Structure 1
Amino acid sequence: MKRFTLQTLEFQQIKELVSQHASSFFGKEHVMKLQPESRYELVKHRLAETGEALDVLRLKGDFSFPNFYDIREYLKRLLAGGYLDPEELLAVADTIRAGRRIRSTFKQIDTEQAPLTILREYIDQISPLNELELEIQQTIDDYGQVRNEASPSLRMIRRKMEQLRENIQNTLQQMLRNPSIQKQLQESIVTQRFDRYVIPVKQEYRGSIDGIVHDQSSSGATLFIEPAQVVSLNNQLREQELAEEQEIERILREVSQSVLEVVEPLAINVDRLGTMDVIFAKAQFGRVYRGICPILSEDCKLRLKKARHPLIPADQVVPIDVNLDDQQKAILITGPNTGGKTVSLKTVGLFALMTQTGFPITAEEGSIMPVYSGVFADIGDEQSIEQNLSTFSSHMTHIISILERIDEHSLVLLDELGAGTDPAEGAALAISILEQILSVGASLVATTHYSELKSFAHTHPQVVNASVEFNVATLSPTYRLMIGVPGQSNAFHICRRLGLAPSIIERAKNHLSTEDRKLDEMIHTFADEKQKMEYARQEAEHNQYESEQLLAELKQKLADWDAEKKRLKDKARQEANWIIANAEREVEQVRKELRQISARQATSVKEHELTDLKSYLHQVTSQQETDDINRPSAQQQVIAHSFSVGDVVRVSHIGQVGTIVEQAGDKQYFVQIGMMKMKVNANQLTPEMKKEKKAAGSTMVRRATDSVPPELDLRGEMVEEAVQAIDHYLDQAIMSGYKRVSIIHGKGTGALRNGVQKFLQQHRQVKKIRLGTHGEGGSGVTIVELE
């Protein structure tokens, strides 16, 4: 790519915007060095990298790439035999930490949720180097100072230094408190000159204090004297400072040697972090500017949907749609000045450069971009002063250069083609240039004012007219790009709006050629038709949107209706369970009464009679789902039969068979069911197929075939559901003769177990409860002893 093309299309400004999102100087520097690429596979790889980074930002909304340093120069110095100072070692540790953080971030992202194949490959090449990071942290503190704990020798040296400083301070403070010395001092303070502790003495008392003069004030009125009493202590302190410097250098060389041992992995880490910093800078730019990675086409197909120039403020930019392919190779844009023609031209060229650099483009999903071998632009009104060329000559010189370098995979952008010379010659020359570009097979977007070029675009099979819309009512452009509509001549309309006499306007029209008038009328007609079609399209889109909204509402209402139906069924089922539970309690009461009667009469109830009662209980339970679905409503319940004593009937609301033994009143009967006699309305009775005579001392209740298990599994249930199930189950268990049963609730969080045990402790039929032993299921099971 020629640099002139990049400057004209303002690509440098886009790179500056992207570089602002890099976390490191390394990343910013590399973004500014990026250039568009013309190889398809490499462009595809760049966009894939950016797309994966956009996925990471989508999944990790608060993600920011960690800061790191370009330590490559430090590593070169190590290889040359040098060592690193504390600040440089901290930079190495920060770079290792950045690698560790980015590795941790990617581990948190599920591969099924986002494969991130390319970025994970980069991550795998980053070495953790945790031991080196820890060694540096234990040696250097956050302020860039070597820690006392870095070595025993350093700790001892610094302890001696502290003691010497304390002795020096104490000695000098005693001197400052001496009244005879205080009057000789300029100030009663202890200070330092050339790393020696001194006191400020007035010039006239120079001979009164024995010591070494190290400095004097700018006026000469104050001398900074090191008293003789502390000379020896200062000398000892200086010796310890030298020893500290030597020990620190030894420690730094030792740590630097550790860095040297992993210099190659560190260099790879920096390179991979730099690469990923650039990729995430692109993605952050895309997120801020609402950009997308376009679909790449292997031919010259270009489709931009709602494309927005990224350098125009979001509240001012007008989106445009652009299409180019093998059949439609060129777009010729006409329209008024400052109407947006050049912006449309630059948007297409800039998006090509951004795509081929791996930058997201500011357009809608579904946009398609090809990979061009070159993007050549002649935009702007420039004169070449150095070559003494006019505007026309400057443009033509540049266009000649473009024509020499383009091929069938090039994109050519020409602004105001043929301008700056005689209109007739300029139009003819412009058409010839367009034909040459199309003959090569290059893609083309051009702007012009010439009417002749509108006719050329209308008749050429590979060229389409386009224009930027102008609002005659407001005398201002709308900046909308209208594909398929040539630009209208609005001069007469504007003059009429501004108040020019109609007679003058009519005379002006008479000066137009017949062809020009016909062309202007054709354009007006075509524009009107295009506008009507646009309104129709917008109305169709609106109707489609309303239809989709209505469909969504209907689907939601259907889902709500299904949910309500399920809720009503569940409620009915709960009510049925409650009715059955009441029936079971009534059966238990009858059972107790029979035993009491048997005890009073010194007779016993036969075993099969108790079994019949159990059968009755099981039969009621087994009928739950059937009754819930098939039981008729109150409006449907009618008396279809009349009954007499001795008839075998089924009591519908409990599902049991019995014999009518007595009429209790109008449409009411006493029915004997085993040992139980109950009053039933006639509308709750249905006749059985045949009558059964009662054998002496026996009952006619059918036996249930279902058995009650000795345990109840409640795992996965809510406490409220479990309590209902337990109440139902205990009644069945008692009727089955169990003295002990197991309630399986699982261990889990303990919420279900606590709710179950609380309910069992209050149950009227529970004698005692305890947790299961090792062989019984442990704390996941509660053993229940029944009354």
Structure 2
Amino acid sequence: MNNKVLKILEYYKIINQLLNYATTDMGKKRIKNLKPTADVDLLQEQLDETKDGVDIYRLKDGIPLPELESTAYSLKRLKIGGNLNGKELAAIGKALRSVNEINIFFDKFKAEGINFRRLYQIVKNFSLLPGINQKLNLCLRDDGYVLNDASSTLKSIRNQIVNTETQIREKMNSYTRGNKTKYLSNANVTIRDDRYVIPIKQEHRAKFGGIVHDQSSSGQTLFVEPAEIVELNNRLRQQQVAEKEEVQRILAELSDLIRPYTEELEDNEIRLGVLDFINAKAKYAHQIKATEPIISVENDVYLRQAWHPLLNEKTAVKNDIAIGKDYKAIVITGPNTGGKTITLKTLGLIQLMGQSGLFIPTFEDSRIGLFDEIFADIGDEQSIEQSLSTFSSHMTNIVSILDKITDHSLVLFDELGAGTDPQEGAALAISILDAVGAKGSYVVATTHYPELKAYGFERPQTINASMEFDINTLKPTYHLLLGIPGRSNAFDISKKLGLDDLIVEAARQLTDSDSQDLNEMISDLVAKRHDAEEKEIKFNKLVKEAQELHDDLKKNYLQFTKQKDNMISIAKKEANDIVESTKRESQELIADLRKMKLDGANNINEGDIINKQGQINALHQEDNLKKNKVLRKAKAKQELKPNDDVLVKTYGQRGVLIRKLSQTEWEVQLGILKMKVEQEDLEKVKVDEPKIKQSTTIVKSSSSSHVATTLDLRGERYEDAMNKVDHYIDAAILAGYPSVTIIHGKGTGALRNGIIKYLQSHRSIKRFGFASPNNGGNGATVVEFK
């Protein structure tokens, strides 16, 4: 896009707002270089990235990125053999830590099964370099300071420095706190030439030995290094030099460690910049309540309830703006201060934002075009230096635009033909619009000239428009009215101000009634087109929901078919077990018959025996599913064995298999309960599969008949009885009983009191009390559940 239109439409203000949301130098650089594109594939990728960023911001408040400085220059120095300082190496370490955190961040999304359009492809090629990351963290602080743990030598030298400084301070304290304090200008130890000194009055210089390093501006104070301190200062200086040399050695070693990985680190920096850029776009979209646009390669633009992005969304007037499908030219007529210019800028700026991969300030399902260029002639560009008038400057700009436009360009003209004689200006405006139409460009023009109203009626693929005016308040509403040319509203305003109704109606009779009818007809057609657009959007949503429902039903049908085949296979197996049992019995019977025949029973026919055995064999059910390798593998995965996690479908509860009781039954541990469950009621669950969300519906056990409504504890030991009560109450609740009776007897009352105390603390119990006199009295307790 040409730089001029970016300035006119205030595109760079959007860029500056985006910069506020970036945290890295690399992300800010990408934002500053952001420009609209007409490459549909590239644009779709950019919008996909923004959509991913918006989803992450909604779920996790964005990608975790700290403030990062660019390391590009440092990596170039490494490539040519240079060594880096501590701050540069720390910046690389900080970037590596960020890469590691981001990798963990996205691994969690993968584990949760959340899909993204583009971001997984970006982060999968990060180079983590864990060894280098660990080494940099061990050796450096974020500000580049080399830590003591960087090497044992450095740690030893720094310990020596601390000891030497301690000795120096002790010596110095003997001067600042002893009898010689009166000879000092003040009792503060200071440093000159990297050596510890004391401030001595000029007249007492002879009382101190040592070296003078400096004096005050008045000459009354000398900064003296006492003789007793000279050796300690020399030692300290040597240790400090050794420390510096060791630090430089460590930094060189770290630089050599990183040097082979400069390309990986450069690639990491690029990806971090992309993620920060995506983060900024997502945060900005959230701030202005923007939505994802749909790209129309046919340039069928439809902006639903669009508002200017630099205005407050809550107070800005929203308009539906459409161009490209039924018309390629819009002529907006009407008086000043009605909102024509801001409507032009809104269309142009939203189109620029959309073609930059940004979300746009419109309602959902809005469409943007794919224009190779956008041109605008908006505002007064009078040039004193070039001696150009307002009209001349506009014409110069328009001439330049007409030379460059194509059939994929969008042109915005504000007050076309203004600044000269009205008749000539209107004629020029019509000619210019014809020239733009001849090249097939898309154009929106505002004008005062009434002659252009007729142009909107007469030219193909052209429509009139105006800004709404409130007759009651005599103020513009800033709503765009497509299909309706601007009116002076003279009749309505005059009537509102008190002009006689007869005069107003007489004036109306003098106007062209055909023109009014045509206006109303066009207005009706535009309204119907708008309704059609909205219905199409609603229809598309319904189709999408229907498709998703169809896919779910198809998936469930396949599962049902598989389950049905499974059940048929189980039924056949059970039938075959019965047949096998029958065959064994029949074979024994046939053997007996043959023995009887051998023993002389002549009335037994061998052919009849063979025929009956064939009929029995024919009862065997062949399991065709066993021949299917895919189904055999699937069945093997679902094969149950002890300690498997399973879902008991009847109860909607997860449990663990304990042991197989028979061919069709298992013992299952459900919480504190052990239950006998039919195998067909069990479904194997993966270890990492999330637990089934508990339903608020009360589920009644299909095996409730196994739980009695009365628990008799008479003769039980106290501990055993209380354990049975605990298990029994859970089983009764699971069975869905409204109430049960616990018989504990009268005895000493210890068991009765223990049961009462237990029932008082149980959350699922509504009330309890002793049974009626004829049902046991205080020897039994009736419990009601919630």
Q: TM-score range by the shorter chain?
A: 0.5 to 0.7
SS at match of 1:262: helix
The amino acid across from 2:202 in the alignment is: Q
Measured in 1, the distance between the counterparts of 2:294 and 2:479 equals: 24
- Are the counterparts in 2 of residues 294 and 366 from structure 1 also a CA contact under 8 Å? yes
- Are the counterparts in 2 of residues 8 and 377 from structure 1 also a CA contact under 8 Å? yes
- Are the counterparts in 1 of residues 374 and 411 from structure 2 also a CA contact under 8 Å? yes
The amino acid across from 1:324 in the alignment is: I
The amino acid across from 1:200 in the alignment is: P
Measured in 2, the distance between the counterparts of 1:710 and 1:455 equals: 86
Measured in 2, the distance between the counterparts of 1:106 and 1:390 equals: 59
Task: Decide whether aligned partners of structure 1 residues 175 and 496 sit closer, same or farther in structure 2, where only a CA change above 3 A counts.
Answer: same
Shift of 1:708: 12
Map 1:288-437 onto structure 2 (within 5 A): 288-437=287-436
Map 1:513-552 onto structure 2 (within 5 A): 521=516
Post-superposition Cα deviations, 1:513-538, rounded to whole Å, max 9, x if no partner, equal 96x6558755886699799x79x989
Shift of 1:381: 2.2
Task: Decide whether aligned partners of structure 1 residues 753 and 284 sit closer, same or farther in structure 2, where only a CA change above 3 A counts.
Answer: farther
Shift of 1:26: 2.0
Shift of 1:474: 1.0
- Are the counterparts in 2 of residues 496 and 505 from structure 1 also a CA contact under 8 Å? no
Shift of 1:87: 1.4
Measured in 2, the distance between the counterparts of 1:388 and 1:444 equals: 29
- Are the counterparts in 1 of residues 91 and 142 from structure 2 also a CA contact under 8 Å? no
Instruction: Name the counterpart of 2:67.
Output: 67
The amino acid across from 1:88 in the alignment is: E
Map 1:450-599 onto structure 2 (within 5 A): 450-491=449-490, 493-494=492-493, 497=496, 521=516
Map 1:178-257 onto structure 2 (within 5 A): 178-179=178-179, 181-257=180-256
- Are the counterparts in 2 of residues 96 and 133 from structure 1 also a CA contact under 8 Å? yes
Shift of 1:108: 1.6
Shift of 1:298: 1.7
- Does residue 169 of structure 1 match 2:169? yes
SS at match of 1:291: coil
Instruction: Name the counterpart of 1:694.
Output: none
Post-superposition Cα deviations, 1:224-276, rounded to whole Å, max 9, x if no partner, equal 11110110111111011101100110011101111112111001000111122
Instruction: Name the counterpart of 1:108.
Output: 108
Instruction: Name the counterpart of 1:154.
Output: 154
Q: 1:729 aligns with which of 679, 682, 706?
A: 706
- Are the counterparts in 2 of residues 492 and 505 from structure 1 also a CA contact under 8 Å? no
Task: Decide whether aligned partners of structure 1 residues 87 and 757 sit closer, same or farther in structure 2, where only a CA change above 3 A counts.
Answer: farther
CA RMSD across the alignment: 4.1
Measured in 1, the distance between the counterparts of 2:331 and 2:707 equals: 87
The amino acid across from 2:706 in the alignment is: Y
Q: State which drifts further: 8-17 or 385-394.
A: 385-394
Shift of 1:318: 0.8
Task: Decide whether aligned partners of structure 1 residues 450 and 244 sit closer, same or farther in structure 2, where only a CA change above 3 A counts.
Answer: same
- Are the counterparts in 2 of residues 69 and 94 from structure 1 also a CA contact under 8 Å? no
Shift of 1:202: 1.0
Post-superposition Cα deviations, 1:129-170, rounded to whole Å, max 9, x if no partner, equal 121111011111345321112111111211211111111111
SS at match of 2:302: strand
Task: Decide whether aligned partners of structure 1 residues 463 and 351 sit closer, same or farther in structure 2, where only a CA change above 3 A counts.
Answer: same
Q: State which drifts further: 319-328 or 222-231.
A: 319-328
Instruction: Name the counterpart of 2:49.
Output: 49
Task: Decide whether aligned partners of structure 1 residues 709 and 238 sit closer, same or farther in structure 2, where only a CA change above 3 A counts.
Answer: closer
Task: Decide whether aligned partners of structure 1 residues 205 and 362 sit closer, same or farther in structure 2, where only a CA change above 3 A counts.
Answer: same
Post-superposition Cα deviations, 1:169-221, rounded to whole Å, max 9, x if no partner, equal 11121233332x12101122322222111111111111211111111223322
Instruction: Name the counterpart of 1:120.
Output: 120
- Are the counterparts in 2 of residues 718 and 752 from structure 1 also a CA contact under 8 Å? yes
- Are the counterparts in 2 of residues 43 and 356 from structure 1 also a CA contact under 8 Å? yes
Q: State which drifts further: 109-118 or 188-197.
A: 109-118
Post-superposition Cα deviations, 1:525-570, rounded to whole Å, max 9, x if no partner, equal 6699799x79x989x99xx9xxx9xxxxxxxxxxxxxxxxxxxxxx
Instruction: Name the counterpart of 1:618.
Output: none
Instruction: Name the counterpart of 2:761.
Output: none
- Are the counterparts in 2 of residues 211 and 228 from structure 1 also a CA contact under 8 Å? yes
The amino acid across from 1:273 in the alignment is: L
- Are the counterparts in 1 of residues 340 and 467 from structure 2 also a CA contact under 8 Å? yes
Measured in 1, the distance between the counterparts of 2:240 and 2:671 equals: 75
SS at match of 2:161: helix
Measured in 2, the distance between the counterparts of 1:285 and 1:126 equals: 26
Instruction: Name the counterpart of 2:638.
Output: none
Shift of 1:336: 2.2
Task: Decide whether aligned partners of structure 1 residues 64 and 451 sit closer, same or farther in structure 2, where only a CA change above 3 A counts.
Answer: farther
Q: State which drifts further: 263-272 or 319-328.
A: 319-328
Shift of 1:494: 4.0
Map 1:674-713 onto structure 2 (within 5 A): 713=667
Q: State which drifts further: 33-42 or 113-122.
A: 113-122
The amino acid across from 2:253 in the alignment is: E
- Are the counterparts in 1 of residues 484 and 523 from structure 2 also a CA contact under 8 Å? no
- Are the counterparts in 1 of residues 416 and 447 from structure 2 also a CA contact under 8 Å? yes
The amino acid across from 1:185 in the alignment is: L
- Are the counterparts in 1 of residues 181 and 187 from structure 2 also a CA contact under 8 Å? yes
Measured in 2, the distance between the counterparts of 1:758 and 1:352 equals: 63
- Are the counterparts in 1 of residues 381 and 393 from structure 2 also a CA contact under 8 Å? yes
Instruction: Name the counterpart of 2:605.
Output: none
Task: Decide whether aligned partners of structure 1 residues 350 and 753 sit closer, same or farther in structure 2, where only a CA change above 3 A counts.
Answer: farther
Post-superposition Cα deviations, 1:720-773, rounded to whole Å, max 9, x if no partner, equal 9999889843779x9xxxxxxxxxxxxxxxx9799579999x8889xxxxxxxx
Instruction: Name the counterpart of 1:687.
Output: none
Q: State which drifts further: 456-465 or 40-49.
A: 40-49
Measured in 2, the distance between the counterparts of 1:468 and 1:710 equals: 77
Task: Decide whether aligned partners of structure 1 residues 25 and 724 sit closer, same or farther in structure 2, where only a CA change above 3 A counts.
Answer: closer
If the length of structure 1 is used for normalisation, what is the TM-score?
Answer: 0.67
Shift of 1:59: 3.1
Identity %: 39
Measured in 1, the distance between the counterparts of 2:241 and 2:321 equals: 74
Shift of 1:33: 1.4
Measured in 2, the distance between the counterparts of 1:524 and 1:116 equals: 49
- Are the counterparts in 1 of residues 5 and 375 from structure 2 also a CA contact under 8 Å? yes
- Are the counterparts in 1 of residues 307 and 319 from structure 2 also a CA contact under 8 Å? yes
SS at match of 1:210: coil
Task: Decide whether aligned partners of structure 1 residues 177 and 47 sit closer, same or farther in structure 2, where only a CA change above 3 A counts.
Answer: closer
SS at match of 2:481: strand
- Are the counterparts in 2 of residues 335 and 469 from structure 1 also a CA contact under 8 Å? no
SS at match of 1:78: helix
- Are the counterparts in 2 of residues 66 and 102 from structure 1 also a CA contact under 8 Å? no
Return 5+ residue gaps in structure 1 as ranges. Answer: 549-706, 735-750, 766-787
Greater Rg over alpha carbons, structure: 1
Shift of 1:15: 1.0
Post-superposition Cα deviations, 1:284-311, rounded to whole Å, max 9, x if no partner, equal 2112111122111121211111111101
Measured in 1, the distance between the counterparts of 2:517 and 2:389 equals: 36
Instruction: Name the counterpart of 2:692.
Output: none
- Are the counterparts in 1 of residues 26 and 70 from structure 2 also a CA contact under 8 Å? yes
Shift of 1:11: 0.5
Measured in 2, the distance between the counterparts of 1:260 and 1:60 equals: 35
If the length of structure 2 is used for normalisation, what is the TM-score?
Answer: 0.67
SS at match of 1:332: strand
Post-superposition Cα deviations, 1:577-622, rounded to whole Å, max 9, x if no partner, equal xxxxxxxxxxxxxxxxxxxxxxxxxxxxxxxxxxxxxxxxxxxxxx
- Are the counterparts in 1 of residues 376 and 413 from structure 2 also a CA contact under 8 Å? yes
Return 5+ residue gaps in structure 2 as ranges. Answer: 543-660, 677-699, 712-725, 735-739, 746-786
- Are the counterparts in 2 of residues 333 and 341 from structure 1 also a CA contact under 8 Å? yes
Post-superposition Cα deviations, 1:652-673, rounded to whole Å, max 9, x if no partner, equal xxxxxxxxxxxxxxxxxxxxxx
Aligned length: 580
Task: Decide whether aligned partners of structure 1 residues 95 and 189 sit closer, same or farther in structure 2, where only a CA change above 3 A counts.
Answer: same
Instruction: Name the counterpart of 1:665.
Output: none
- Are the counterparts in 2 of residues 485 and 526 from structure 1 also a CA contact under 8 Å? no
The amino acid across from 2:74 in the alignment is: Y
Shift of 1:365: 1.3
The amino acid across from 1:258 in the alignment is: L
- Are the counterparts in 2 of residues 203 and 222 from structure 1 also a CA contact under 8 Å? yes
Measured in 2, the distance between the counterparts of 1:755 and 1:237 equals: 78
The amino acid across from 2:333 in the alignment is: T
